[in-house]
């Protein structure tokens, strides 16, 4: 190939200051990074990470207009959202103002700008609090609950959902109360408080059943199924997931079918039924293809498939699946997922007794540190890194990484994973 060689991403990013204004440029740079063919087959190929991919300045320059177009488009709809809020204000339609502000927040969330979304929701909440009709407030609180959850702010998230639930119940807003219960369940899951999560989901399920809302009933059954699986009540999990699946298939909800089959795959894997698990994941992928584009869902299924291969010792297939997922995550600038992919790649190399696999954990740590609200992910990377070192007999380093993981889980008030870290630390000391 003619022309100068590409610049490595690790070097390219080192030249870019951490400025918010440059975030879209950073995302563009990451999305166009690719390995050259020679690297793929070189001895460093198996250890290829984002940092070792290459970018051509020429290509970045050529793609810049597309990035500008996307930014302009995003700003246009945001500004339009604000103008709509202003028009609502002008005609005295305060619920309309709240709805417009919430829409703007959702647009920010769609492009991963959670902190900015929270600011929109807070303004919306301020307007909603002054209204006699409490439903806009219920909705604004729910939006805040979810965005705080995404930012890893569990206590704030729980507070918003609690308030949303109290208001919804006072207003006899059954849909609002169901949604708030579901949100509280999700916060409890994020904190590893499974008993609490079960109580909230069950409450949500009763409300959804009373309101004859089949999609929400199905969703809550799926979530209860997940919890049952985590608590090792596998028969109950199977029953709940089957019911949810039947409900979604009858309603033709492709995205929900993909989600429930993704869970079914995990259940089958836990039961050691690898063939069934693989079939469930593959069908989940097929449903995801029919559903509105959700790269996060597709990646989640692919990663479960890779983890299944990893657990079943099918390392070649696991690696191929992880590399496909890596490409999808890079193209979609899915940095959090990418960090998880590299954690799995590190585990895979650990399973092969390959010490150089540490490069994947190092890359994962570097990626998550640059993300806001990624403490859980960082803790999980350290946990896996510690186990990797332990497997290679490097006990001192293993202990140091596990202790770091414990510190991070502690800072979140996370119970279950922290207990797991303690177990591993005890095993190291034994």
Q: What would the x/- binding string for other proteins be over residues 320 to 339, using CB under 8 A?
A: ----x---------------
Shortest CA distance to 257 belongs to which of 205, 292, 307?
292
Q: What would the x/- binding string for other proteins be over residues 8 to 37, using CB under 8 A?
A: --xx----------------------x-xx
Shortest CA distance to 363 belongs to which of 338, 394, 399, 388?
338
Q: Which of residues 141-170 bind other proteins (CB under 8 A)?
A: none
Question: Tokens 């200051």 sit at which residue?
Answer: 17
- Regarding 282 and contact with other proteins (CB under 8 A), the answer is yes
Angle subtended at Cα 99 by Cα 96 and Cα 102, rounded to the nearest 5 degrees: 150
Q: How far is the CB of 125 from other proteins (least distance, A)?
A: 39
Whole-number Å distance between alpha carbons of 353 and 97: 59
HEC per residue, 259-305: HHHHHHHHHHHHCCCHHHHHHHHHHHHHHHHHCCCCHHHHHHHHHHH
- Regarding 311 and contact with other proteins (CB under 8 A), the answer is no
Q: How far is the CB of 266 from other proteins (least distance, A)?
A: 17
Q: How far is the CB of 341 from other proteins (least distance, A)?
A: 17
Q: Exposed/middle/buried for 286, CB within 10 Å: 0-12, 13-18, 19+?
A: middle
Which C-beta is closer to other proteins: that of 23 or that of 286?
286
- Regarding 278 and contact with other proteins (CB under 8 A), the answer is yes
Which C-beta is closer to other proteins: that of 201 or that of 360?
360
* Token duo for residue 235: 């028969």
Whole-number Å distance between alpha carbons of 191 and 278: 29
Whole-number Å distance between alpha carbons of 289 and 296: 12
- Regarding 400 and contact with other proteins (CB under 8 A), the answer is yes
- Regarding 359 and contact with other proteins (CB under 8 A), the answer is yes
- Regarding 290 and contact with other proteins (CB under 8 A), the answer is yes
Following DSSP, what letter does each residue of 25-41 receive, concatenated?
Answer: HHHHHHHH-B--HHHHH
Q: How far is the CB of 17 from other proteins (least distance, A)?
A: 18
Q: Name which position in 107, 151, 177, 257 contacts other proteins (CB under 8 A).
A: 257
- Regarding 47 and contact with other proteins (CB under 8 A), the answer is yes
Give the single-character DSSP code of 7. E
| Residue span binding other proteins (CB under 8 A) among the ranges 3-11, 222-230, 335-343, 414-422 | 3-11
**Residues near other proteins, by CB under 8 A:** 1-3, 10-11, 34, 36-48, 51-52, 56, 58-59, 62, 254, 257, 278-279, 282-283, 285-287, 289-290, 316-317, 324, 356, 359, 362-363, 366, 396-397, 400-401
């Amino acid at each position: 190939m003619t022309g100068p060689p590409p610049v490595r991403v690790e070097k390219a990013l080192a030249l870019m200051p951490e400025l918010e204004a440059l975030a879209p440029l950073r995302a563009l740079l990451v999305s166009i990074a690719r390995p050259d063919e020679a690297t793929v087959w070189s001895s460093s190929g198996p250890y290829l990470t984002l940092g070792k991919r290459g970018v051509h300045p020429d290509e970045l320059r050529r793609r810049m207009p597309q990035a500008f177009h996307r930014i302009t488009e995003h700003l246009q709809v945001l500004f339009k959202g604000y103008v709509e809020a202003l028009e609502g204000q002008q005609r005295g339609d305060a619920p309309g103002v709240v709805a417009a502000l919430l829409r703007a927040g959702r647009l920010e969330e769609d492009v991963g700008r959670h902190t900015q979304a929270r600011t929109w929701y807070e303004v919306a909440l301020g307007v909603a609090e002054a209204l006699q009709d409490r439903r806009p407030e219920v909705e604004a609180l729910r939006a805040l609950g979810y965005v705080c959850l995404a930012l890893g702010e569990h206590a704030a998230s729980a507070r918003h959902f609690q308030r949303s639930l109290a208001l919804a119940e006072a207003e006899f807003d059954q849909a609002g109360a169901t949604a708030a219960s579901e949100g509280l369940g999700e916060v409890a899951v994020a904190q590893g408080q499974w008993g609490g999560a079960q109580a909230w989901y069950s409450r949500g399920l009763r409300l959804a059943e009373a309101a004859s809302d089949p999609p929400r009933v199905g969703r809550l059954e799926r979530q209860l199924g997940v919890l049952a699986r985590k608590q090792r009540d596998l028969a109950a999990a199977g029953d709940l997931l089957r019911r949810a699946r039947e409900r979604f298939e009858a309603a033709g909800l492709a995205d929900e079918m993909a989600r429930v089959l993704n869970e079914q795959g995990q259940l089958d894997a836990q039961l050691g039924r690898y063939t069934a698990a693989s079939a469930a994941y593959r069908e989940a992928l097929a449903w995801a293809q029919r559903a509105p584009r959700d790269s996060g869902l597709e990646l989640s299924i692919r990663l479960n498939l890779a983890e299944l291969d990893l657990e079943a010792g099918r390392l070649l297939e696991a690696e191929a699946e992880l590399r496909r997922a890596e490409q999808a995550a890079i193209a979609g600038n899915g940095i959090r997922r990418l960090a998880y992919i590299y954690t799995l790649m590190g585990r895979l190399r650990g399973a092969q007794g390959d010490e150089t696999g540490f490069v994947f954990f190092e890359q994962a740590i570097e990626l998550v540190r640059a993300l806001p609200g990624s403490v859980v992910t960082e803790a999980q990377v350290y946990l896996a890194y510690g186990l990797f070192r332990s497997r290679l007999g490097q006990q001192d380093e293993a202990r140091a990484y596990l202790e770091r993981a414990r510190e991070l889980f502690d800072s979140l008030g996370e119970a279950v994973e922290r207990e797991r870290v303690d177990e591993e630390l005890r095993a190291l000391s034994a």
